[in-house]
């Protein structure tokens, strides 16, 4: 065992000396691998960052939260033409479903309204995203308020002219979010009193920010758009009983909803039960596809880099044929010669990989400064993947030159260099 490690050490020293002696050639050989590893690690890290940003936009929600809607969040076997015929979940259906709910089950009715212009005196902000909800909304999707409160059950049922606005809306209309409470603004042709200001969230590259979002009571929204307008999209958002079995709960919910909608046993569902957890699985599928595409594209760069290393190694063997012959004449074993050149190829490839990873690290550090609202992540796992691929490329590219060097006849090798 000691002899084996001695051979490894000497082979490593020979490889490092050879790389140092040909710095320009070493640098040129690194470029292909560097670019390939940079591409793979950058794609993996970018996709991981995107996935983290998407999932974090739902992190305040329970992973078991359900959206009962006419639309599917992910892939579905229902054809598009059939889905387009589905009608929205109505408010009356929400009321019926709520009457069958147990005490640990939280239901909220939500309508996504068309964007609106909000006005206060001479100040106006355009294209504000609007949601009309019941008072339970903060229980299923927490709303952190910087000032004021959310509307209560009485205001929701009455359709009171009150509104909860995002931080940017308050700043643009009143100059300072602290001054927003109690002010009356014009929205949808009505006057609404500001009762709450949402805490500053910041911009997000994936998913809309609540800084430009306003909430109004559900019946205020229904008084303007009614219950069957195609301009709106509605859903029942449900936070299930934490102690319930997820599959059994979904089956029970489906049965209750089919009964409320009057569907017979031969009719298909005309609604979708969408889970946040299922949406996470859908995101995993998308990011997995992006990773695969990134690997394929980056693979061409690695292929070129691998051929470059193999070519340089064959040239190196040719140049050092005389030295190989002398080493063998002095008693060097074939495995020593093999490891010497194999180490040289692997070290060359790993150096290129390290440079590529360093470029990704520096690039992400700069992007995190320039884009503060999006976190670019370079995980140890992605670094390990990059180094493992670099080692593999070096081994595959160097094995044939190393084998050819180890099989040289010492006498013929010495003569070649004379």
Residue 208 pLDDT > 70: no
Give the model's pLDDT for residue 137. 93
Mean pLDDT of 52-61: 63
CA distances from residue 100 to 148, 399, 404 in whole angstroms, order as listed: 33, 70, 78
3-state secondary structure of 303: helix
| Higher pLDDT among residues 100 and 191, named by residue | 191
- The CA distance from 329 to 104, in Å, is 84
CB 405 within 8 A of CB 341: yes
Average pLDDT over the chain, rounded to an integer: 82
What is the pLDDT averaged over residues 283-302?
72
pLDDT greater than 90 at residue 35: no
Separation between Cα atoms, residue 106 and residue 81, nearest integer Å:
33
The position carrying tokens 């359709």 is: 159
Residue 135 phi, psi dihedral angles, 5° rounding:
-70, -15
Strands 190-198 and 162-165: parallel
The pLDDT of residue 284 is above 80: no
> CA 75, CA 73: separation in Å to the nearest integer?
7
Average pLDDT over residues 322-341: 77
Please report the pLDDT score of residue 393 as a whole number: 87
pTM, entire model: 0.63
Distance of alpha carbon 297 from alpha carbon 303, whole angstroms: 10
Residue 187 pLDDT exceeds 70: yes
The residues facing 192 across adjacent strands are 185
Residues paired with residue 194 on neighbouring β-strands, in sequence order: 163
Average pLDDT over residues 237-242: 87
**Torsions phi, psi for 195 (to 5 deg):** -115, -10
Which stretch, 36-50, 173-187, 289-303, has highest mean pLDDT? 173-187
């Amino acid at each position: 065992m000691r002899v084996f490690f001695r051979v490894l050490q000497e082979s490593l020293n020979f490889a490092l000396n050879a790389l140092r002696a040909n710095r320009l050639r070493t640098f040129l050989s690194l470029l292909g691998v560097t670019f390939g590893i940079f591409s793979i690690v950058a794609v993996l890290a970018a996709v991981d960052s995107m996935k983290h940003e998407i999932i974090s936009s739902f992190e305040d929600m329970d992973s078991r939260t359900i959206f009962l809607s006419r639309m599917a969040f992910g892939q579905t076997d229902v054809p598009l033409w059939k889905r387009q015929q589905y009608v929205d979940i109505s408010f009356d259906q929400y009321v019926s479903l709520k009457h069958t709910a147990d005490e640990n089950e939280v239901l909220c009715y939500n309508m996504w309204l068309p964007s609106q212009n909000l006005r206060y005196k001479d100040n106006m902000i355009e294209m504000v995203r609007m949601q009309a909800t019941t008072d339970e909304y903060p229980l299923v999707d927490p709303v952190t308020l910087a000032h004021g409160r959310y509307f209560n059950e009485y205001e929701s049922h009455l359709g009171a002219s009150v509104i909860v606005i995002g931080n940017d809306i308050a700043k643009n209309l009143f100059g300072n979010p602290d001054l927003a409470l109690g002010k009356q603004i014009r929205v949808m042709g009505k006057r609404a009193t500001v009762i709450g200001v949402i805490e500053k969230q910041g911009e997000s590259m994936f998913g809309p920010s609540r800084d430009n979002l306003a909430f109004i009571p559900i019946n205020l929204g229904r008084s303007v758009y009614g219950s069957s307008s195609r301009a709106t999209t509605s859903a029942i958002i449900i936070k299930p009983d934490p102690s319930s079995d997820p599959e059994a709960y979904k089956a029970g919910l489906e049965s209750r909803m089919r009964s409320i909608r009057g569907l017979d046993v031969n009719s298909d569902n005309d609604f979708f039960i969408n889970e946040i957890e299922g949406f996470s699985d859908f995101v995993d599928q998308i990011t997995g596809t992006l990773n695969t595409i990134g690997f394929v594209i980056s693979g061409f760069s690695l292929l070129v880099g691998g051929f470059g290393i193999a070519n340089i190694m064959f040239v190196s063997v040719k140049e050092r044929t005389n030295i190989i012959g002398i080493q063998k004449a002095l008693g060097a074993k074939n495995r020593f010669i093999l490891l010497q050149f194999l180490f040289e190829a692997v070290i060359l490839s790993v150096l290129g990989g390290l440079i590529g990873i360093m470029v990704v690290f520096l690039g992400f550090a700069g992007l995190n400064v320039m884009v503060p609202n999006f976190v670019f992540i370079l995980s140890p796992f992605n670094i390990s993947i990059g180094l493992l691929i670099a080692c593999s490329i070096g081994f595959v590219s160097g094995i044939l030159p190393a084998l050819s060097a180890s099989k040289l006849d010492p006498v013929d090798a010495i003569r070649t260099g004379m």
